[in-house]
Structure 1
Amino acid sequence: MKLYKKGDASSYTLGVFPTIELLKQRPQNVKRVVVHSSIEQNKGYPVIQTLCQKHHIPIDIHDRTIEKLSPKNNCYAIGVFETYQSCLQNDNHVVLEHPMDMGNMGTMMRTMLGFGYKNLVIIKPAVDIFDPKVIRASMGAIFHLNAVYYDSFEDYYQQFSNRKFYPFMLEGATNIHQVLPEKPYSLILGNESHGLDDHYLNYGQSIFIPHSEDIDSLNLSMALGIALFHFSKEQWEGKEVLKENI
């Protein structure tokens, strides 16, 4: 089995938890699961066994494959799967223009899922979401999402123009704390290094996130987290939620 290269027809998870998420959400795409001989010590292994048995997916014990593909020594399972295409739902969207950092992408996917967002638009050029580094950083959240690439924002806009657009910009016209969301909407964020171009001021209601003068900008994944928290507040009010263990 070879290391993943951008555009390959197959990719793989790195770790027990992402592999379980793959088996739960996309079993139809899984080709096989490769495990380390010491995986029986891991409490997630019975879950993998049950899911593989249910979906008739073979399990191979092969330490060399694990050691070859995993950059870390604590990887006990790899899920090999066929890459796939998704379709966007006419719900609230997150739009990322030219995201290039694999760790950021995985973190943003996990953050999206945590706040109940499942539709991700990616404007090319951009990172490959099926790179194992992205999958691992997402902790398997990628398998819950509908992620679709577009060659340009205009291509996306032509397909989903009947919605509210909120581009996040340093020169945004409205403080995020003053925004009352109109659904369905698209939250638009730019590249890690240069944000959104001024032409996005022509789309919808531009927004800025206020912060102190001690920094020049927020990290992209942090900005997205703040945006998702603000725009999803209504859906969590009065609900029982899972509390993070600290």
Structure 2
Amino acid sequence: MLSKNQIKLITRLKQKKYRQQEGFFVVEGVKTINELLQSNLALHALYTTETFNIDAKQEILISETDLKRISFLTTPNKALAIFKIPNPKPIDKNGLIVVLDAIRDPGNLGTIIRLCDWFGIKDLVCSKETVDCFNPKVIQATMGSITRVNISYVDVVDFLNEVESPVFGAFMEGENVYSKQLPEKGVLVMGNEANGVSKDVEAIISEKISIPRFGDLQATESLNVATATAILLSEFKRR
């Protein structure tokens, strides 16, 4: 049986302030948990309806009823794990870096983390207004990619003022990315879902790029930020 303290800790970890206070985050689903178990992240506890054959002190067998009590999912997937939040790592500025300016949707952030993993982007830099990467919905959307991308939360204006690489930003009025010469090393800034890149950040951007619309009516206002990130990263890597 789960104790009240165990249930209390897990349910508290749904909120950012308690994740920061406790230093833990929740992962659900067998596939994602297995990905994280193979990484350098430290496991605190694993609650599962089937054995994973790991350290018995960390693996706790529970019933499906108990799993439903602690799960954040509508349909729990056999296991829930608690991992320690890792210490931040230095940002490697010798490559292509993605910067997120106030991305709010957990699904978008999770997808962008997966895209960074796919395209070999080692560093993802987030503004302090961007959703927490250890949000359970973000973790779910990353499908394990969170272990292979270094994610940093910084003052984006300060960071961009310090980098020596060219800074590209995604704008509706930017230069057509398909006709643009793109470098191997640089910074790509993606803006907020509703408002785009903030004015303070825009002032630092040296190159505005856009994804042109090809539809006859051209009635679509904008692309989803994760979709736009995928297209732009593909162009950077293709060149």
TM range (shorter): 0.7 to 0.9
In 1: Cα distance, 2:30 partner to 2:152 partner: 26
TM-score when scaled to structure 1?
0.81
Out of 34, 37, 43, the position equivalent to 1:20 is 34
Out of 96, 106, 111, the position equivalent to 1:107 is 111
Out of 72, 76, 79, the position equivalent to 1:77 is 79
* 1:6 paired residue number: 16
Out of 112, 121, 125, the position equivalent to 1:117 is 121
Secondary structure in 2 aligned to 1:207? strand
Secondary structure in 2 aligned to 1:206? strand
Which letter maps to 1:35? T
* 2:164 paired residue number: 162
Out of 30, 34, 41, the position equivalent to 2:43 is 30
Secondary structure in 2 aligned to 1:136? helix
Secondary structure in 1 aligned to 2:113? helix
Which letter maps to 1:192? E
What aligned pairs does 1:138-149 form with structure 2 within 5 A after superposition? 138-149=142-153
Whether the aligned pair in 2 keeps the contact of 1:86 and 1:146 (CA below 8 Å) is: yes
In 1: Cα distance, 2:193 partner to 2:57 partner: 39
Secondary structure in 2 aligned to 1:117? coil
In 2: Cα distance, 1:210 partner to 1:168 partner: 11
Out of 213, 224, 227, the position equivalent to 2:232 is 227
Alpha-carbon deviation of 1:86? 3.0
* 2:208 paired residue number: 206
Q: 1:106-159 CA distances to partner (integer Å, 9 max, x unpaired)? A: 1111122112212101012121110111100111111111000013x2211243
Count of matched residue pairs: 217
Whether the aligned pair in 2 keeps the contact of 1:166 and 1:187 (CA below 8 Å) is: yes
Q: In structure 2, list runs of 5 or more residues that go unmatched.
A: 1-5
In 2: Cα distance, 1:184 partner to 1:57 partner: 45
Alpha-carbon deviation of 1:66? 2.3
RMSD, aligned CA: 2.0
TM-score when scaled to structure 2?
0.83
Q: In structure 1, list runs of 5 or more residues that go unmatched.
A: 41-47, 235-246
